Structure 1
Amino acid sequence: MAVREQLIEYLDQNIDQYIRNWKKKIRISESDIHRDKVEANGVMMYQLVQTNIKNPISDEKLIMLAKKVAVERAEANINIGDFIFNVNAGRSVLMKHMTYSGINVEDLQAILDSINELFDQFSYHAVTEYTKLKSNELQEKISFIDETHQEKLSILGQMSSSFVHEFRNPLTAIMGFVKLLQKEHPDMAYIDVIDHELQQLNFRISQFLHVSKKEIDTGYEEKIEVNKIFAGIIEFIYPSIVDIDVEIQNTIPSGLYIFGQHDKLRQVFLNILMNSLDALKEKGFPRKILLRGDKYEDVIHIHISNNGPMIPPETVDTIFEPFYTTKELGTGIGLYVCQKIIQNHKGHISCMSDEVETTFTITLPVEKSDLRA
């Protein structure tokens, strides 16, 4: 009897033994929704090997089985490592199984080589299909997340347009009367505290108006000295600086100018400084904020650093996303608004954090540019 015929007969008579040995090796989860199909797929691969020993099979048959198995493994959400392990388990068990056929190993070698090639091709097509399916699944999830973000922004915009302006109207009146009281009664107790808190409330409302895209753009572009805008902000948040006991070091050189909308750029710097103060509450002393600035060619770099807790690497990549926050009562829109304003000024904002310090870097063009509302 020819070697190939003898081997085919042996495989035909001992398929049950092969399946038992293979099932002892493979990894199948109890939650696998297609676990009942695993044995049938093993039998089909075994039969393809038998057919291939007699006459080389077409690629179509192998690819058909590979894609079928890949679809089932993807639907069962099986780890790709387990998938490959099971394929290789089938290969190794089959090779060992064939050595018990009584055929001389030298006579088997050419057949074993062809079977190895068959398994390699099966693995390639199965993993390619599995990867494609998982990639499509991931893209669908990303698209769903993006759509969800847009829906949230749309809802927030509708909410903001309906009642945030209603908040600002009485707030503007109150702030106006407080200013009058400050002029008429400059020594009145707590009037400065009231004014400070009202300014903070107005700042938060402005953030929601930016997100809702309903804010009327009343700002105009102007040449702004960086040191002066920070001096005003530091004066504004001085009560918070004293309360937390933070040392602010300002090394921004005088004569460093940016061009843009003063109120919006002030909002960016104020938001980052307030976030820095919040972060420093979680740190022991000394608590420091360092302001630095420089000009390189046609770009201004402004760095705001604090020595608070490190922001984890996985978080740094998401802090500018809308609604992402680590604060218990945070809205998750502050840094998103900052990024939006800086981008509208043709600039860029980024964050780097390690165990020593966290630094927000804002880059802005020196020359005047067309700004979007």
Structure 2
Amino acid sequence: MEGKMVLNREMTLHFLSSHKTTILTEWKERLKHLPDSYIDYFEEDIEKILNSLMKQLKETDTNFDELLKDLGEKISANRVKQHLNMDIFFSITSIGRSIIIDQFLKYEVVKGEISAVIHQVNSYFDKVIYFALTSFTDLKTKQVAKQYQLINPNHKDRLTLLGQMTSSFVHEFRNPLTSIMGFVQLLQAEQPDIKYLDIISKELDQLNYRITQFLNLSKKETETSQNEVFPIASLVDEVMEFLYPSILEANAYISCKIDEDVEIVGSKEEFRQVLLNIILNALDVVAELQQPTIDISGSVSSGFLTLNISNNGPKIPDEVLPNIFEPFITTKKRGTGLGLFVCKEIILKHQGTLTCHSTDFLTTFTIHVKTKA
């Protein structure tokens, strides 16, 4: 322990200046787990973030919200340009925040002063994250809108035709399907000992959902969905129960680690659609593997939920990955190429981000949204 010190603004700035090299060295050391192609971009960002914090301490009269907004816009613009995941940015800022606070805690500081410093550091990092996320969401929304406008007339015609075909198909198919589902329910009530009725019922429910989903994917949403507060862990459980027959068919191992207390605000049914689309895609790509695995995990930091859905299926080709969320882009022989496009629109509508990172060993879709305040 060094001698006790009082951390006023000047001494805090002096402390950071004298420990800048130590902070940056440890910060960069803890980034070594990232892919080599990412490290250069993030090392440049962390120096900007630390320099900006020191500048804020030095120039007390400056409107730093505008400067931090500008910093967030530059960081997010670089992410969009390089097709980098925003979730990694949140991870490295959390690392930097903890390193800086740990450096202060190594010293015996007057009680009350350290609380003020920690509050200032947390406030600074929260604003950097907020402005970066807001800018990133705006840029991706504009990018999607621009790409949608550039869809050529043939694709627009395909989309219109697809909507007409599915609308007709659903109305013709749903009536007998509803009758079958009704008779299965009657059999379950009258003769509950008949084997496999539960499986038949779940398969029919899934078929009904797929028909509805196909119709929803082929037309642009016209109704405003009602927002509600709901625990994301419970929704994931519901989706897993619904997909149980598909999970059995793929013989997939599913792991799920999400805090049951984490709640988000939005359309529960739209989020259900996003989860179903991504997990169904994962089941499709791992079905032929000897040990098919899907891992779902969630973590909360600074008021944001990061939900990762990973599978050990084959790598998405490099030439496809940057366009994976565009309409009519698919790696499946019989896919429409609309599922992920709609997922992206739903998440952007909820002011979040949806990204994908794929390697030879793991493909991860990452959803980043605000939690309930």
The alignment's TM-score, normalised by the length of structure 1, stands at 0.54
CA distance in 2, matches of 1:215, 1:143: 17
Displacement of 1:289: 1.2
Displacement of 1:214: 6.8
* Partner of residue 265, structure 1: 271
Aligned partner of residue 313 in structure 1, secondary structure: coil
CA distance in 2, matches of 1:366, 1:144: 34
Q: Does 1:253 align with 2:263?
A: no
Unaligned runs of 5+ in 1: 1-141, 369-373
* Partner of residue 327, structure 1: 332
Match of 1:190 among 196, 200, 206: 196
CA distance in 2, matches of 1:179, 1:336: 35
CA contact (8 A) 1:161 1:214 kept: no
Displacement of 1:144: 7.3
Aligned partner of residue 328 in structure 1, secondary structure: coil
* Partner of residue 103, structure 1: none
For 1:205, give the aligned amino acid: I
CA contact (8 A) 2:352 2:370 kept: yes
Q: Does 1:358 align with 2:368?
A: no
Displacement of 1:306: 1.0
Displacement of 1:196: 2.2
CA distance in 2, matches of 1:255, 1:310: 33
* Partner of residue 61, structure 1: none
Residues 205-225 of structure 1, C-alpha deviation per residue, up to 9 Å, x if partnerless? 222222333777595322221
CA contact (8 A) 1:248 1:289 kept: yes
5 Å matches for 1:73-84?
Answer: none
Q: Does 1:233 align with 2:239?
A: yes
* Partner of residue 163, structure 1: 169
CA distance in 2, matches of 1:341, 1:155: 23
Displacement of 1:291: 0.8
Residues 31-81 of structure 1, C-alpha deviation per residue, up to 9 Å, x if partnerless? xxxxxxxxxxxxxxxxxxxxxxxxxxxxxxxxxxxxxxxxxxxxxxxxxxx
Unaligned runs of 5+ in 2: 1-147
* Partner of residue 297, structure 2: 292
CA distance in 1, matches of 2:262, 2:187: 36
CA distance in 2, matches of 1:220, 1:180: 33
For 1:322, give the aligned amino acid: P
Change in Cα spacing, 1:208 to 1:243, as seen in structure 2 (3 Å) is: closer
CA contact (8 A) 1:280 1:306 kept: yes
For 1:279, give the aligned amino acid: V
Tell me the percent identity: 47
Aligned partner of residue 308 in structure 1, secondary structure: coil
Which structure has the higher relative contact order (CA within 8 Å, separation 6+)?
Answer: 2
CA contact (8 A) 1:203 1:267 kept: no
5 Å matches for 1:28-43?
Answer: none
* Partner of residue 308, structure 2: 303
CA distance in 2, matches of 1:180, 1:256: 38
Structure ID, larger Rg: 1
After superposing on structure 2, the runs of 4+ consecutive aligned residues of structure 1 that deviate more than 4 Å are 142-145, 214-219
CA distance in 2, matches of 1:295, 1:180: 45
Displacement of 1:185: 2.8
RMSD between aligned alpha carbons?
2.6
Q: Does 1:203 align with 2:196?
A: no
